[in-house]
Structure 1
Amino acid sequence: MAAALAQAAADPNLGRLGGRVTDALTGQELWRQLDDMPLIPASTNKVLTATAALLTLDRQARVSTRVVAGTRDSLGPVVLVGAGDPTLSAAPPGVDTWYRGAARISDLVEQIRRSGMTPTAVQVDISAFTGPTMAPGWDPADVDNGDIAPIEAAMIDAGRIQPTTVNSRRSRTPALDAGRELAEALGLDPAAVTIASAPAGARQLAVVQSAPLIQRLSQMMNASDNVMAECIAREVAAAINRPQSFTGAVDAVITRLNSAHIDTTGAALADSSGLSVNDRLTARTLDGAMQAAAGPDQPALRPLLDLLPIAGGSGTLGERFLDRATNLGPAGWLRAKTGSLTAINSLVGVLTDSSGRVLTFAFLSNDAGPNGRNAMDALATKLWFCGCTT
């Protein structure tokens, strides 16, 4: 294998390359190059978030968004209580949103009207999440570019200005937007919406739920959804009594990986999505998570393999690894999470090579050249063709 990968791994477009390949069933390391060097992982960080979620949460877990009375009277303010579901949508019934199975503001309104409460104003409780709303190492321009929104416990369409457009510009006030959408639907003044904590023991007027965790993880991995990743990591944090913040979520993810005996040496993370340029992970850690999912010892992680985009078939790999001239190569045989930032490319996944052997791999490229992504794909393609026994 070392001989088969040598030329592709030496491509200068890969810059600094950390990599590791493992036999999925036995866990035997077959190839490595600087696999213990911490590098910026970009969105392959989401592999760890998904791993921690599968280890911690029920696959059918849902996040509830509630509306409670802000007073004991039947006339007064109502409070939208966010718990970290960014997929809540203001789209009318029957109209598609970006997220399948998303909860709707219209459902909340219908329940409020049946509750006997007459709302006079809308407040938004975002106290479930703590700390900053933007992580260290995020570029504020990424909000306008559609990559991220401030992470708040209540959001509408993950902060998208255009709800069904994947790269829509994001809002800088997602929680207030959620409250304003509710206010408008109730016939109230959206400009009067404020942030406030719900009264203790407040009467519940309405509740809606997100899609199940496994569906949200699929959306996170296939679309490389940064907002979804940050919110799911906070679910993990809450489940093991960590703060629902950037630091609490990172601590929770690393704690759960360690409990599954996945080597996290060298991990230093500022977020759970991989958008931060401050993140550092090793190929050993990422391949370790993938091998745990593919091997026999962690059956709870097996769904991770199904969450990965398919080469030439789905998600962020839908247009990659396609050789239309020969119809040869790893398309359909390779599944992986992609990562991409400026001069950074990464690929972490599993493949069945040309001999039928199942391999896991992690490739991290920093300081990449202009053809870095193509060089990364060429390396993975060489691995597929190898059919090597060692």
Structure 2
Amino acid sequence: MLVALTGVLVLVVFAAGLVVLRPGPVAAWLGDDAGSRPTPVVDPPDAPPGPVLGSLDGTAPVPNEAGLTTAIGKLVTDNDLGGRASVVVRDVVTGNVLYANKGDVPTVPASTMKLVTAAAVLATRGPAHRIPTRVVAGPDPGEVILVGGGDPTLGVNSKTFYPGAARLDKLAAATKKALGGTAPTKVYYDSSLFSGPVYEPGWDSDIPTGGFGGPSTALTVDGARTTPKQLDNGYSERFSKPDEAAAKAFAKALGVGGNPAPAPKGSVPQGPSAAPTSPAGSIDPGTELARVESPPMVRLVEYMLVDSDNVVAEAMARQVALAKGKPASYAGARAAMTEVVGELGLPADGLVLADGSGLSRTDRLTPDLQTALLALAASGRRPELTEMFAGLPVAQWTGTLDERFGEATDRKAAAGVVRAKTGTLTGNHAMAGVVTTVDGRLLAFSILTDGVTASSDTTRSALDRIAATLARCGCR
């Protein structure tokens, strides 16, 4: 039995006896064989959320092609969608395609690319994985090196952008304790885990200054934001050198003056390092002094999907690359994610992955792939993938769907029963997710458009209309 996606906080999927909840403090996920390394500074976990979803009748009637064609056929070919809309509607229970219009045509997915990124990182890293930010001893006594592990949610202090993020002030306190009687004198920083360009070449020229993306670096705070606050439209000014900014914030928390410098080559050992001998004894260069760790991967995926966070998406793509033993670069990430798509058995014809966020106009995928991925995630065959649903925005409730479905009839039909990722680039608009029909059947859908000339508001309304029609239509 499947459970309807009508709630906000929890997704529960019953398939082959499987029950999976929204990201939370699941003991089996959060265990850590830390060995002798310093104990990470981690905030207390949230209390487990309670189920808030109603039951879905697994025997609910299945829409058929004729009914779907009658209901959404004209909407799909609406000029407001540019006349080149690629659409697939798939039954989640059986996995069968119920409706397709150019469903196998590779199209620019915009931010719906994040569905692939979410699945890839959950499949490779697992829901429990946490990303460390470490401090190791520098070349001389009192010198320390801040080592970025690729956590995009790292905060400076209690005023973090991301709830539950690891914090530099706590890392600084743990570092001082590890140094014992040795006063910190200089801060170096190392962000070499990520390689290659910090912006993907296929991005529009305004991305670096547009406030919705930022440089991809292994060391950053608050998603490279210059302040943990953002405007109502989601705009956030970003640092051009996030690693340097993070190091300055750490030095301030540590009470060290002067400007931090990049770590000397070879000064950061690869892999776990030995613990300090004793507070009173000497500390060898490269010894790990302290660490903090990000929230579990399930939370990071949620942050990425709910508000379509591009910086988090690129960090997640690099985690896939690291998990597959490839360079943590755009090239390494796209090779790794393409490999994972194949391992998941998804239809990959025409697939081109340039980045993890969908900002690149060279990205290409099909609605066939997206709906197959959503059906797989909901099936319970890969339980770690089910966690991606917790991050999908809910119509008229959360994230990028909070203020969508503006027309009264669409709003009434879609509110609470459409859970989807949206995507927008100039000329390209998209929506992909799941919807519960009026009869209680769970469907996966993907709508990718190209060559759109209508306004963004007009096009979004056209997409909303299709999703709302699927919700209110038995389509039989």
Q: TM-score range by the shorter chain?
A: over 0.9
- Indicate conservation of the 8 Å contact 1:183/1:193, yes or no: no
Aligned to 2:175: 112
The answer to whether structure 1 residue 70 and structure 2 residue 154 are counterparts is no
1:127 maps to 192
Instruction: State the match for 2:145 in structure 1.
Output: 79
Percent identity (aligned): 38
Task: Provide Cα deviations, 1:159-215, integer angstroms capped at 9, x if missing partner.
Answer: 101212242111110011111111222233343433544343511122111111111
How many residues are paired up? 384
Partner of 1:288: 372
Select the structure that is richer in strand.
1
2:242 is the alignment partner of 1:158: no
Structure 2: how far apart are the matches of 1:300 and 1:186?
38
Q: CA deviation at 1:322?
A: 4.9
Distance 2:128 2:380 in 1: 23
Equivalent residue number for residue 38 of structure 1: 106
Shift of 1:217: 0.8
Is the contact between residue 25 and residue 296 of structure 1 (CA under 8 Å) also seen in structure 2?
no
**One-letter amino acid of the counterpart of residue 347, structure 1:** M
Q: Determine the structure 2 residue equivalent to 1:212.
A: 296
The answer for the alignment partner of 1:29 in structure 2 is 97
Give 5+ residue unaligned stretches, structure 1. none
- CA distance in structure 2 between the partners assigned to 1:340 and 1:199 by the alignment: 40
Residue 115 of structure 2: which of 40, 47, 65 is its match?
A: 47
Partner residue in 2 for 1:14: 81
Query: Does structure 1 residue 148 correspond to structure 2 residue 213?
Result: yes
Asked whether 1:340 is paired with 2:421, we answer no
RMSD: 1.7
Q: Measured at CA, do residues 136 and 30 of structure 1 come closer, stay the same or move farther in structure 2, by a change above 3 Å?
A: same
* AA partner of residue 175 (structure 2): I
Cα 1:42–1:327, aligned 2, differ >3 Å: closer, same or farther? closer
Gap regions ≥5 residues in structure 2: 1-67, 274-285
Letter in 1 for 2:204: D
TM-score between both structures, scaled by the size of structure 2? 0.77
Instruction: State the secondary structure of the residue aligned to 1:302.
Output: helix
Larger Rg: 2
Q: 1:122 to 1:97 in 2, by over 3 A?
A: same
Q: Distance in 2 between matches of 1:208 and 1:140?
A: 35
3-state secondary structure, aligned to 2:185: strand
* Shift in alpha-carbon separation, 1:64–1:171, aligned structure 2, 3 A: same
| TM-score normalised by structure 1 residue count | 0.94
Aligned-partner Cα distance in 1 for 2:431–2:409: 24
- The secondary structure found in structure 1 opposite 2:151 is coil
Check conservation: 1:124, 1:194, Cα contact below 8 A: yes
Contact 1:82 1:126 in 2 (8 A): yes
Q: Which runs of 4+ in 1 moved over 6 A?
A: none
What whole-Å deviation, never above 9, does each CA across 1:258-297 have from its counterpart, x for those lacking one? 1111111111121011011221111111111111112353
Cα gap change, 1:18 to 1:324, in 2 (>3 Å):
closer
**Correspondence for 2:14:** none
Query: 2:403 is matched with which residue?
Result: 319
Distance 2:205 2:167 in 1: 28
Q: What is the CA-CA distance between 1:326 and the residue it aligns to?
A: 8.6
